[in-house]
Structure 1
Amino acid sequence: MTAITELYGSDSPVERVAAEVRGHAAKRGLRQVDLASALGLTQGQISMRLRGKTPFTLVEIYSLAEVFMVSPAELLPPMPMPNGARMQNSPVRAADADPTGQMLPPLDLNQQPCD
C-alpha cells in the first residue's frame, strides 16, 4: 500500500480539501460562522475542518458546493497516481493491443459508407 504522503506530498487530501474550502469561502466573503451555520456545525467544529484537523464529510462537501455554487468536484483534490504514473485520456484495454503488444488504431465509432 502506498502512503498518503507519497501520493500527495506533505499536504494530505484532508488539508487540500480544507484549502479549497477556505479559498472558496474567502472569495465569497464568508466567515467561519457563516459556514458553520450552513452546515449545522459549531464554529469550533468548522475551524477544525478548515485547518485540516478533521475531514469534511461527503454530505458537508455537497452542502458547501451548493453554498459556493460550484460542483462538489471543485472542492476535491485530484487523485495522483502512484509511482509517477499519469492517467491517460482513454484507458488501455487488452482488446486494444494485438498479440504482439502493438497498439491497434482506435475504432471509428461513427463509420460512414464508402462511395
Structure 2
Amino acid sequence: MVTSVAQHFITEDQANQQVSGEVRSWLGRRGLTQRQLAAHLGLSPTSLSFRMKGRTPWGFSELMRIATWLDISLHDLLGDGLINAKAPVRGADEGLSEKLPQLDSNQQPLDFRCLGTGGLFVHMSYPFFMV
C-alpha cells in the first residue's frame, strides 16, 4: 500500500513571516523581549525589527543562536510546518520547459550539425568532437 504525503509549498517570504512568528512566540513563552534578543544577536533593534516583520531574511547562524539561547532545538524553534515545507520549483510557472532543447532519439539536441569531413560535429552551445 502506497501512502502519499501532502506536499506543503511555501515561498521565501512566507517562510520569513512564519519564522518571525515562531521567534515571537518563543520570546513570549520565555518572557523575553525583542530588545534582549537583539542584544544577544549583536543586532540593532531596527535590524531585528526588520527580521521580525519579515523584511529581512533570518540567517541560519542567527536561528541556531536563538535556539541555543532559548535552550530549544532548531526544530522546536521552527516547528513542523516549516521543517517539512518545500520551496516551489523556481521557474515552474514561467514556462521553462518550453525553452528546453528538443532531443532526437539519441538524446542529442536537434540542432546538431555535421560540418562535413572527418566526422566533426559542432553543437550550437558547446563543441563536441568525434573523430
Query: Which interval holds the TM-score relative to the shorter structure?
Result: 0.5 to 0.7
Provide the C-alpha distance between the structure 1 equivalents of 2:34 and 2:85, rounded to a whole number of angstroms.
Answer: 30
Give the TM-score of the pair, scaled to structure 1: 0.59
Change (3 A) 1:38 1:82: closer
Counterpart in 2 of 1:66? 68
Tell me what 2:107 maps to: none
5+ residue gaps, structure 2 = 1-7, 89-131
> What letter matches 2:46 in structure 1?
G
Q: Given the alignment, which residue of 72, 80, 85 partners 1:80?
A: 85
Find runs of 4+ consecutive structure 1 residues off by over 4 angstroms. none
Percent of paired sites with the same residue = 31
Query: Which deviations, in whole Å up to 9, do the C-alpha atoms of 1:7-28 show, x marking residues without a partner?
Result: 138x711111111100000111
For residues 26-61 of structure 1, the C-alpha deviation after alignment (integer angstroms, 9 at most, x for no partner) is 111111110000000000011111111111111100
Larger strand share, 1 or 2: 2
Say which of 37, 44, 47 aligns to 2:46: 44
What is the TM-score of this pair, normalised by structure 2? 0.52
SS of the residue corresponding to residue 31 of structure 2 reads: coil
CA RMSD of superposed structures (Å): 2.3
Query: Which structure 2 residues correspond to residues 81-96 of structure 1 after superposition, within 5 A?
Result: none
- Is 1:20 the counterpart of 2:25? The answer is no
Q: Name the SS for the 1:7 alignment partner.
A: coil
Partners of 2:74 and 2:83 lie apart in 1 by 12
Q: CA deviation at 1:78?
A: 2.5
